[in-house]
Chain A
C-alpha cells in the first residue's frame, strides 16, 4: 500500500516537473520541490522504523511517556523571528507614548524611516528609499495587505485602527523575513489587533488638543457563547493643519472616521475562526485646497486557523477590500481587491519542517482620468498568483537551524518572479543566537511605472509609463546577533548589505525637447547598514526600550541610462536614527512615558536633523477612569521632517488631554 502510494506520488511529481520545466522562472523552485519530495520519501522511511509496531510494542509505559508526540524541538518563537531583523512594539508601548494615529505609532519602531510630510501624509519605509510614494514595504493589517497598485505604496491617510485595540506591531526589516507578500523588498509591517475576547466591555475615550481638536472612540465587546466573542467599535478624529515655513496655518486639516466589528470563534481546542469588517471615511487635504479629498473604504476579512499539533498548523484567509478616493481635482480611483490565501506548516520527519503557501489576488482598479493626466487603460484588472515553499531543518542538538525557501509570484506586468532565500541560525548558548541570510526580492511594476501618462496638451506627452518597465530587484545579505545577557535585558544587532538593480529612473525623451520622459530601470547600487534594538527593565516599575539605525546608500546611474534624477530614486534618507522610550509606573497610579527620537539630516532636498521629545503623564483614578496629558514635539516651536513638494509643512509643538473610561 505504501509502495503504491509512493509510486503515485513519484508519477505525479514527474508529470509536474515536465510541465513546469517549460517555464524559465520556475527552475529554482522546481528543484526545491524535487528535493522536497525525495526528502519526504526518506523522512517517511526514517519515521517508520522508529514508530513501527514492532518497536513500539517493546516500550514500557515509562518509555512511552517520554516520547515526544510531535517533534524534537519546541519552537515558541516563530521561525522568522529568530533569524531576521524583527522589532516589535506592544499595546503598552503604544499607549505609554501618547501617539495619536497609526503612522505616528510607527515612529516608535527604530528600524523604520518615518517622516510626517503634512497633516495627513507620511513617508514611511525600511532600509531606505523613503518618500511619500515609498514602494518597498509591505504593510498588513491583520493579514490584509494595504497598498494601492497605483504606485505600489500605502495611502497612510486611510490606514488606521483603534490604537487601544492593537495587540502589537511587528516590523521585520529585510526581504527574507516574511514568508510571502508582493513588494516586501525592504521589509514588512504587520499590524495585529487584539482578539475580540481580549477587548471586552465598554471603552469610551475622548481627547482634545491644539494639534488634535477632537477625538472620540467607543468600543463594546461581548460574548455570544462561551467561545464566541465579538467587538464593535467606532472612532473619529480631527487633526489641525500643520504650518507653512512662515508659521501660518497651512489649511491641510484632516478628519477621519472609522468603525467596524470583529468576531472570534474558538470552535475547538485546535480551531479558531475570525471575521472582521471595517468601514472608513477620510477627508485629507494635503494640498490645502478649498475642499478636501474624499477617501472611503470598506473591507471584510475571515480567517481559519487550525492547529494540527504543536508543530503543524494551517491557515486559510479570504478578504475583500474596497477603497475609493476622489483626489479633489476630478481624478478618482476605485479599487476592489479579492484575496484568498492558504498556508500550511507541517513536519516531514523529526527536525524537518515544511511550510508552504498558495494565494491568489484579483484587483479591479478603475480611475477617472483627467484630460491631460491618467492611467491607460483607465480600468484594469490585475491578477497576482503567489506561492512559497520553505524547508527547515534543525541539527546538532537544536543548535543549528537551516532554512531554504522560495516565493514564486506571477503578476500581469513581469510574469513569473522568484524570490529565493537561505538562512542559517546558530544558537551556541541559550542566551545567544547568530543568524545569517541571503535573499532575493523583487518590487513588481505598479501602474505608475507602466501605464501612467501626463500630457502638456493633447498632442504633447510629458511623461509616459513604459510597458517594458521591469521589476526592481535586490539581493540582500544579512547577518545578525541576538543576545540576552540577563532576564530583563535583550539586545539584537542586525547588519545588511543590499545589492539593488533595475531601480526606477526617469529617462529623458528624444532631443531636442527631451520629452516625453519615460520611466526606466536605469539605476543600480548598494545600501548597507546596521540596526540595533535594545530592551531593558531596570526595575519592575521602569521599562526602557530603544534602538539605533545606520544606513548608507550608494546608488549609481547605469551606463545605458540618462536618469534625470541622478540615481536618487526620489528617495531621501537619514544616515543615523536613534530612539529611546521609557515608561515609569509611579506610586499613586501615575504613569510617566517619554519618547526621545533623533533623526539625522536628510540630504536632498535638505531637511535639518531634529530631535523629537514626547511626554505623557497618565493617572488611573480607579478601575474605570484614566486621565492623561500628552505633550508632543516639545523641543521646537515647529520643525520639518520631510519635503515632498514646494509645499513645505512643519509640525508645531502640541499638547492634548485625554479621558479614557473602561466599563
Chain B
C-alpha cells in the first residue's frame, strides 16, 4: 500500500507541475500588448533637444523594477529606430541607477516608493509609464489600465509639461487626461 501511495503522489505532482507550467504561459498576452504600446509611444512623443547627445544616439526604453515583459520588448524594437535614433532597452533595479533614459516603464507597486521614485526622476525629461493603480494621480505621466478587457491610456498632462515632453495630439485624442492629486 505505501508503494501505491507514492505512485499516486508522484502522478499528482507530475500533473501539477505540467499544468502549472502551461498556466505560466498565459498571463504573457497582456504584457505583449503593453510592450506594443510602449513601442508606439516612441512615435507620438517628443523629447527636449538635450535628451539626446547626438542626432543618432539611442532612444532608450527602460524598465524599473521586476521585468513583466520577458524578452518581448527586445523582440519588438529589434532593428527599429525613431527619427534616426535606434531603439534600445535597459533594465534598472533601483531609481538611482536610472540615467540616460527616454521612456521608463515603472513596475513598482508600493505607493511610498512610487512617490519617491517619481520625485527623484524630475528634471531628467523621462516619460514615465506604468500600469500600477493610481500612477497618474500620483504624478506619473502615462498609465495603462485595463477596462472591459482592453487596454486604455490615462495621461497626466501637467507632469509631461513639467518635463518639457510634448505629447502628440494623435495620442492625446485616444487618452483620458487626468491631474495629479494634491
Contacts and interface: CB of A to CB of B under 8 A. Distances in A.
B49 interface: no
A62 B76 CA distance: 18
9 contacts: A16-B18, A60-B40, A61-B44, A61-B170, A65-B174, A67-B151, A310-B146, A383-B5, A387-B15
A69 B131 CA distance: 13
Contacts, number: 119
Contacts of B5: 383
Interface stretch (A201-209, A341-349, A458-466): A341-349
A9 interface: yes
Interface stretch (A49-57, A77-85, A324-332, A633-641): A49-57
B179 to A, nearest CB: 22
A74 interface: yes
B11 A348 contact: no
Nearest to A29: B15
B151 A69 contact: yes
A610 to B, nearest CB: 49
Interface in B87-144: 109, 133
A347 B30 CA distance: 12
A573 B75 CA distance: 66
B8 A410 contact: yes
A15 B153 CA distance: 47
Interface string B20-46: 111101110110110111011000100
Interface residues of A, number: 50
Instruction: State the main secondary structure of chain B at its contact with A.
Output: helix
Interface of B: 5, 7-12, 14-23, 25-27, 29-30, 32-33, 35-37, 39-40, 44, 72, 75-76, 78, 80, 109, 133, 146, 148-153, 170-171, 174
A66 B150 contact: yes
A61 B174 contact: yes
Contacts of A389: 15
User: 7 shortest A-B CB distances, which residue pairs?
Assistant: A53-B75, A56-B36, A346-B23, A16-B14, A51-B32, A68-B149, A53-B76
A269 B19 contact: no
A69 B27 CA distance: 9
Given A44-B25, A385-B8, 16 more contacts: A26-B11, A33-B15, A47-B25, A47-B29, A51-B32, A56-B76, A61-B171, A65-B150, A65-B151, A71-B149, A268-B109, A310-B149, A348-B22, A356-B15, A383-B5, A385-B9
Nearest to B10: A19
A12 B14 contact: yes
A395 interface: no
Nearest to A67: B33
A278 B12 CA distance: 32
A383 B36 CA distance: 50
A64 interface: yes
A342 B21 CA distance: 15
Given A53-B75, A64-B40, A12 B174 contact: no
A1 B8 CA distance: 31
A70 B29 contact: yes
Interface in A340-373: 342, 344, 346-348, 354, 356, 358
Nearest to A13: B18
Nearest to A5: B21
A56 B20 CA distance: 27
Given A20-B11, A33-B15, A354-B19, A53 B72 contact: yes
A660 interface: no
Nearest to A30: B11
A308 B31 CA distance: 12
Interface in A362-401: 383, 385, 387, 389
Interface in A19-64: 19-20, 23, 26, 33, 37, 40, 44, 47, 51, 53, 56-57, 59-62, 64
Nearest to A269: B133
B75 A69 contact: no
Given A61-B171, A64-B36, A309 B27 contact: yes
Nearest to B152: A65
Contacts of A354: 19, 22-23
Contacts of B30: 69-70, 309
A71 B150 CA distance: 10
A27 to B, nearest CB: 13
A437 B16 CA distance: 27
Contacts of B75: 53
A19 B80 CA distance: 50
Given A61-B171, A74-B149, A51 B29 contact: yes
